[in-house]
Structure 1
Amino acid sequence: MLSLPPFQALIDDHWRDVARLARALAGPVDGDDVAQRAWEKAFAAYPNLTSARNLRSWLLTITARCATDVHRARKPQTPLDDAPPIAVDGPEAADFPDPELWQAVKDLPERQRVAVTLKYVGDLDHHGVAAALDTTPAASRRLVSDALATLRTKLGVDHD
C-alpha cells in the first residue's frame, strides 16, 4: 500500500508554488482560479496515485494543464465601443517588477511560454517540464532554449 502524506500537508508544503505558477501562467486575473482548479483536480486524483515520488512536480503539472485549459477556453472578446470603462484592481507592481519582460513572455507561443515558466517560475527540471507538456526532456530543452532566444532578441539582451 502506498503511503501518502495527508493532503493538507501537501497543501501546506506547496501552496505557494502552485499559486505562483498559476499566476505566472494565467495572469493575475485568472491565477487564483487556476490554482483553485489545480487543487481540486489534485484532491480528486490523490487517492489513486501510484507513486509518492516528486509530488511537487505532479502538482505543478496539474497547475500547468489547468492554466492551458483556461487559455484554450477564452473566446476572443469584442469590446463595446459605447461601454464605459470598468475599473479593475490590477496586480501590485511588486508582482510583476519587469513588465516588459512579462509582456514578452506573454507574447511567446503557448508551449514555449509554458515551458519557460515551468522551468524558471516553477523551478522544474527538464524531466518535470517534459512531463507537464507530454513531451521528451530533449523537446523541453528545445522549447526553453527557443523561448530564451526569442526573449533575448525581443528585449535586446546580449547573451555572450
Structure 2
Amino acid sequence: MVAKKTSLPPFQLLLDEHWRDVVRLARALAGRVDGDDVAQRAWEKAYAAYPKLTSARNLRSWLLTITARCATDVHRARRPQSPLEEAPPVAVDGPDAAEWPDPILWKAVNALPERQRVAVTLKYVGDLDHHGVAAALGTTPAASRRLVSDALATLRTTLGADDE
C-alpha cells in the first residue's frame, strides 16, 4: 500500500513561519557564530528532504530535529579524530553566555554534558515536548525526560537553587 502524500505548504511559507525558531535553537546549541552556519545547514537539509515528506504533521518539530542534528555534527567535527596525549583539550563553545538574558544560567548550561545540554535546550529553547526531544536525539521519550531531569538537577545544584 502506498502512503498518501499530505499536501505540504510551500517551502517559503514554512521558512517564513519558523526561521526564528531554527536560528534561536541553532545559536543556543552552537553559539552565535556557528549557530548561523548551523541554521543555514539545517535549512539546506530541510529543503532537500522536503519533497520526500509524506506528512505535514508537526513540521516545526521536524525542522528543530534537523537543526539539533546539524548542531551535533558541528560539535563532533570540532573534536580531535584521534586522542593526542599532548594536545590541549578542544573547547566546544555553546552560545555566548553574555548574549542571553541570564548569562550565569547559560554558562552553567554550556558546562552540562552534551546530551543533557542538547536535551534541555531543545525542551526550553526549542519548546519541544519529550517526544520531539527524543526524536531529535534518537532516543525514547522516557530517556528524554531523564536527560532533561538530570540537566535541571545539575543546574539547580550548580546555581544554588536548592538553597532557597
TM-score over 0.5 (shorter chain) = yes
Q: In the aligned structure 2, how far is the partner of 1:6 from the partner of 1:138?
A: 34
The counterpart of 2:43, out of the listed 23, 34, 39, is 39
Question: What is the aligned partner in structure 1 of residue 107 from structure 2?
Answer: 103
Q: Could you say what secondary structure the match of 1:113 adopts?
A: helix
Post-superposition shift, 1:159?
Answer: 7.9
What is the identity percentage for the equivalent residue pairs of Structure 1 and Structure 2? Answer: 82
Q: In the aligned structure 2, how far is the partner of 1:73 from the partner of 1:35?
A: 16
Q: Could you say what secondary structure the match of 1:158 adopts?
A: helix
The counterpart of 1:54, out of the listed 58, 80, 87, is 58
The counterpart of 1:115, out of the listed 115, 119, 123, is 119
Counterparts of 1:13-32 in structure 2, within 5 Å, are 13-32=17-36
Residue ranges of structure 1 left out of the alignment (5+ in a row): 79-89
Tell whether the 8 Å contact from 2:97 to 2:106 is kept in structure 1 after alignment. Answer: no
Q: CA RMSD in A?
A: 2.1
Post-superposition shift, 1:153?
Answer: 0.4
Q: In the aligned structure 1, how far is the partner of 2:62 from the partner of 2:79?
A: 29
- Normalised by the length of structure 2, the TM-score is 0.85
Question: What is the aligned partner in structure 1 of residue 76 from structure 2?
Answer: 72
Post-superposition shift, 1:100?
Answer: 1.5
Residue ranges of structure 2 left out of the alignment (5+ in a row): 81-86, 89-94
Q: What residue identity is the alignment partner of 1:99?
A: P
With over 3 angstroms needed to count, the CA separation of the structure-2 counterparts of 1:153 and 1:58, relative to structure 1, is same
Aligned length: 149
